[in-house]
A and B are shown apart, each in its own frame.
Chain A
């Protein structure tokens, strides 16, 4: 390819972890029941006023700090005026770049295919989401549950050069939002939505000079990471084809939309038709001074993110890079793991149990770690039962499977099933001799050189003890007792 690609992202992510909406007292929680989380202000009844949710501001400030952005001295909100059926007030309360939004000029280091990359953040702002509409052949319906949900919009510089980089960045951001307790960042719930800017330019020219950039095409409403990847790749190819056909120079700066069904981008409007949003400062929200004390408090209590935790797992617990990566992929899994360690589990055993048995089972049952009844303390006691040789590892798997769904304590399951491993050597010697007494012909076979009959005899011990005898003790005992005959 003789061209370089420049990609910028606008990532909208709902803040899901506040009790109420950003300017309204209505509940902020995802629900399948339409139009249940609503206060009068969410439907713009005359005379209703916005009230800023401090918790949403705090979460936004956390994101601003994690992204290395500057925080403003005063917090302002602005009105973005336009008419649309999903926007009951006829304006969205948001932040423009002037006065300063919740975060300006930061950067983030992320990993893409094992390589470290850096993206510059232009700004981060806090705004309210619009209502959602469902379209039917007979008409459209509006659901105001989403109206007023806090939304963080992150705008990057055009620093990505491939779809892979853009998606790797988005995945890193999702992990950050989850680890910081800002959002579930679940695309399935419509919590993450992106706009993508794509342009191509001759290879080798100075990319830091905007004059060398190609014509910018903005693609709106890409609602999954897979969609982002496909939209970028489609748009790059479309623009390359235009170059090929000599039609690139006719292309004007424009906004397109991603059509998931056809897997194509579709022309919406050119730059000359851009909407004038008539921004002005929201007069119902007095400018809020962000005190240094509050900012410091937030900064000093920033939660540990995935990258930091992974380092600890590798360096302090001796866990492999591969397993550590698996453990930090989802925050609840990392939390589960850390709780096991806090409860005294051997980190390697805990890691093994989680990365193989636990995640394997979740995958098989199509559950998340929040859906199961197994708690870290249960897993820890299970690990201890094995480490103390009270049950065999085979039995442990059985106990684990039951813990997962029943929520019973491993000890109780072991008791109920009579599984407790027999490690009393005197008792095993007694049973071994009982078995030998009952099988004189097998002893003869052994004496004749058929050493493998020992397996059969050990099996008889296991049978008599209903599998509770410690297998290695049973084996060594039988080996020595048969010699005595």
Chain B
């Protein structure tokens, strides 16, 4: 049986017609979960006793999906891929997951992430490295690594993700699938383990743009438990996709996309940017206007630092609740502060600890203005710049990263200065809370690469429509990973 590699619409039809049952789908998805677990280590928990649900007119009813392990799930282990919560079983469910449950969606596993979402490699979770299903020697990127790997491998049509800098949209590109984070506040964050609250978004990883719309339709909604959530009941994402993009105006940024900006470009980067330019041609052939615009390079290059300062500052504070007193494995110690110190020293990976030190440093009273407040000022400048672009253009279209998935061995998390802005521009979507979607747009070195489309806040339908039209003009829709030998 091979229903899990189909689109949600197709699976729904099969369920409706009685061709297949929810039980059978769950069985297939669990089998594929175990297989992928052996190959890529994508899951923290596989939910063997997942229960079938009644098939209704809801597109998601009866269909299995994956939950990133930083969403609270009642009665099911939720670790955030951290040793500090390795035994934590929440007694309440995140609102977004509850919303999916109410539509009859069936969670079959919890997927690995970089510890608490604080990483972009899929190598820092407490259960080990997540491998890319296209090439086991490469990374998935992160932090929604397990979700991206599982969707790409055809374990199910979708999984939830969360995105603070690019944690949905980067792994989607590396795994050849679709990753969509809607406008900030469209999906409630209640029950999502926080990383940096002002940047954290919930979202979905799927294999088609329509599926992304269906899933986010299912997750979204104003929530009395999240003051930053907004009412979107009049926004019907899936129903609004018509593929009509004639006359839409797009722009891309010269400083990021022009190969001449990278004197030391390797072959993969060259191929990636060339491929991007051919995607731009596709857009034009679809009837869209695409223009190259210029943005101050100093501003673009400041983005990664702004991200580090703000996200680390918020993370330091957000994760101060992890003391081992109320939840998590309590540590030994003669006094409460020693107990806490032991718990945190043992529990967190070195990467996270480094970020806590940075976060603490930039908030200290003697540094706060220089670092934290300046970062907030530059965040505002970047958001203003993008909003200025949105006055003239329907969306900004840019390549994701500097090429295909990086090798697990030999590549550092440390950044190459030349391509830093290209690697990290997706963060601007988090700074502004903009709707942003990545879709696959080809192959470089036999590995998938992606392109990103970002629009102004609350203009999700427009962004989805452009992505849908572009997806339909290319051959990468609903592709399943085949390991490159």
Contacts and interface: CB of A to CB of B under 8 A. Distances in A.
B363 A49 contact: no
A85 B226 contact: no
Contacts of B71: 47
Interface string B152-195: 00000000000000000000000000000000000001111110
B72 interface: yes
Contacts of B372: 280
A285 B317 contact: no
A317 interface: no
A40 B320 contact: no
Contact of A286 (B227, B325, B360): B227
A279 B364 CA distance: 9
Interface stretch (A87-95, A208-216, A295-303, A369-377): A87-95
Contact residues of B: prevailing secondary structure:
loop
Given A51-B225, A278-B364, A280-B372, A43 B317 contact: no
Contacts of B316: 81, 278
Given A83-B337, A85-B336, A285-B227, A47 B317 contact: no
A48 interface: yes
B363 A44 contact: no
B321 A89 contact: yes
A328 to B, nearest CB: 40
Given A46-B194, A283-B198, A90 B365 contact: no
Nearest to B373: A280
A85 B316 CA distance: 17
B122 interface: no
Interface in A31-88: 40, 43-52, 79, 81, 83, 85, 88
Q: Is chain A's binding surface mostly helix, strand, loop or mixed?
A: loop
Given A81-B363, A283-B197, A283-B314, A45 B90 contact: yes
B189 A280 contact: no
Interface string B317-341: 1011111011100000000110010
B367 to A, nearest CB: 10
Given A50-B227, A285-B227, A45 B327 contact: yes
Contacts of B85: 46
B313 interface: yes
B317 A79 contact: yes
Contacts of B190: 47-49
B373 to A, nearest CB: 9
A218 B403 CA distance: 60
Contact of A83 (B91, B92, B320, B368): B320
Contact of A46 (B224, B225, B321, B336): B321
A280 B197 contact: no
B320 A90 contact: yes
Contacts of A45: 72, 90, 92, 321, 326-327
Contacts of B432: none
A276 B319 CA distance: 18
A284 interface: yes
Contact of B191 (A47, A79, A85, A276): A47
B191 A81 contact: no
A286 B316 CA distance: 20
A43 B326 contact: yes
A76 B228 CA distance: 14
B221 interface: no
A280 B363 CA distance: 8
A50 B365 CA distance: 25
A43 B322 CA distance: 11
Contact of B197 (A81, A85, A284): A284
A97 to B, nearest CB: 14
B116 to A, nearest CB: 9
B94 interface: yes
B80 interface: yes
A90 B317 contact: yes
Contact of B323 (A48, A81, A83, A280): A83
A284 B323 contact: no
Nearest to B194: A47
A47 to B, nearest CB: 4
B233 to A, nearest CB: 19
Nearest to B224: A51
Contact of B228 (A83, A89, A90, A286): A286
Given A40-B92, A47-B189, A284-B197, A278 B227 contact: no
A45 B397 CA distance: 39
Nearest to B94: A47
B390 interface: no
A283 B224 CA distance: 16
A47 B72 contact: yes
A49 B194 CA distance: 9
Interface string A107-142: 000000000000000000000000000000000000
11 contacts: A46-B78, A46-B322, A47-B189, A48-B191, A49-B227, A51-B225, A83-B320, A88-B325, A276-B364, A276-B365, A284-B227
Interface of B: 71-72, 78, 80, 85, 88, 90-92, 94, 189-194, 196-198, 224-228, 313-314, 316-317, 319-323, 325-327, 336-337, 340, 360, 363-365, 368, 372
Given A51-B225, A81-B316, A85-B325, 13 more contacts: A46-B72, A46-B88, A46-B321, A47-B192, A48-B190, A48-B191, A49-B225, A89-B320, A278-B360, A278-B365, A279-B363, A284-B227, A284-B228
